[in-house]
Amino acid sequence: MSVTPPSTSDLFAGPFALGTLSADDHPAFPALVDGGGQVLDLRSALADPALTMRTLLEQWPTVLPRLRALAVEPGHVRRPVSEFRILAPVEPRQVFQSGANYRQHVIDLHVAHRAPDDERSEEERRAEAAEIMDRRAAEDLPYVFIGLPGSITGPYDDVTLPAWAAKPDWELELAAVIGRPVYRVPPGEALECVAGYTIANDLTDRATVFRRDMPQIGTDWLRSKNAPGFTPLGPWIVPAESVGDTGDLRLTLKLNGEVMQDESTKDMIFGVARMVAYASQTARLLPGDLVLTGSPAGNGMHWGRLLRDGDVMESSITGLGAQRTRCVAEGR
């Protein structure tokens, strides 16, 4: 099941975007969507019947000029995007997730997760969190961990809330899509490895973030973030050249029509280049991989209102389109 997606495709920046679509007469296929909402099947346009979004991204430096031409080239069969189901735009091999990367968000969480024996005032705890953020920025230490591709779902698909997830929360994030293999790249060259950007909602069960049986071992990201469907992705991959500077994009998430998150990437502690470079110091990033860049203030923990059966989230990022997902309790 899924909710009705937006009817327009002109929400993305630039002359075209990429997506993975399907229909009754079309199994999943990589598509170019132009500014008029017309879909071009890239398998036929590029004469590669086995083409997927990931194999397309593996050719990114050489295929990008051809995609630019196809966006305006006449003579190809195109169909309206409304005739298709929009899936997650790519199936990555690796998902790199970032925590504690928006200053105000981290301060809010630091206050919300107060230890029972912490009797300091909110002002004192906020000051402590701000000091920690300043130190991390100065020492160039982003917080990156690994997510599972199996948590990814489409941008308009229902999200099942597992029965065990007592405090499911939303986390709207800008996601960078890698377009070439990269290992130990410096920050000054990191953006050359990014093919484009998309929207991710990195759902988290706050009740299972920290291990209660053994607090000393810290966070449990497997349990809290990787349930099936916990990462709605897309709808589009918008080429990096169309997005331009990612230093001031607006992230907005509405819950049942009410704005919960509304922040600029200006509040990031570490920008996209530093996040990609940092992840590449340890791991080899591959075409199609995702680097999620953290979530701004305004999560459910801040509002004291977590996700429930029937909730609808609407998420948008400047130039990347919008996704709309409905929450469904497990077993309903």
pLDDT for res 331: 87
Element containing residue 168 per DSSP (H, E)? strand 168-169
pLDDT for res 5: 61
pLDDT tens column, 145-195: 999 999 999 999 999 999 999 999 999 999 999 999 999 999 999 999 999
Residue 10 has pLDDT above 70, yes or no: no
Instruction: Calculate the CA 205 to chain-centre distance.
Output: 17
Instruction: Calculate the CA 198 to chain-centre distance.
Output: 6
- Number of other CB atoms surrounding residue 148 within 10 Å: 17
Q: What is the mean pLDDT of residues 316-327?
A: 97
The rounded distance, in Å, linking the Cα atoms of 236 and 84 is: 14
pLDDT tens column, 235-286: 999 999 999 999 999 999 999 999 999 999 999 999 999 999 999 999 999 9
The pair of three-digit structure tokens given for residue 113, joined into one six-digit string: 């997760």
Q: Percent of the chain having pLDDT more than 70?
A: 97
pLDDT for res 95: 98
The pair of three-digit structure tokens given for residue 42, joined into one six-digit string: 């890239």
DSSP collapsed to 3 states, 82-143: HHCEECCCCCCCCEEEEECCEHHHHHHHHHHCCCCCCCCCHHHHHHHHHHHHHHHHHHCCCE
pLDDT for res 2: 60
CB distance 259 to 252 below 8 Å: yes
The rounded distance, in Å, linking the Cα atoms of 84 and 81 is: 6
CB distance 148 to 226 below 8 Å: yes
The pair of three-digit structure tokens given for residue 29, joined into one six-digit string: 């296929």
Angle at 57 between CA 184 and CA 264, to 5 degrees: 70
Mean pLDDT, the chain, rounded, equals 92
Query: Could you tell me the pLDDT band of residue 4, with boundaries at 50, 70 and 90?
Result: low
- Domains of the chain with CATH codes: 16-86 (no CATH), 95-329 (3.90.850.10)
Give strand pairing partners of 196.
177, 239
With the C-alpha atoms ordered 81, 149, 245, 247, is the resulting torsion angle positive or negative? positive
pLDDT for res 270: 95
- Number of other CB atoms surrounding residue 128 within 10 Å: 14
21: Cβ contacts below 8 Å, ≥ 6 apart: 28, 29, 31, 39, 81, 84, 85, 86, 87
pLDDT tens column, 64-91: 999 999 999 998 999 999 999 999 999 9
Strands 38-41 and 26-34: antiparallel
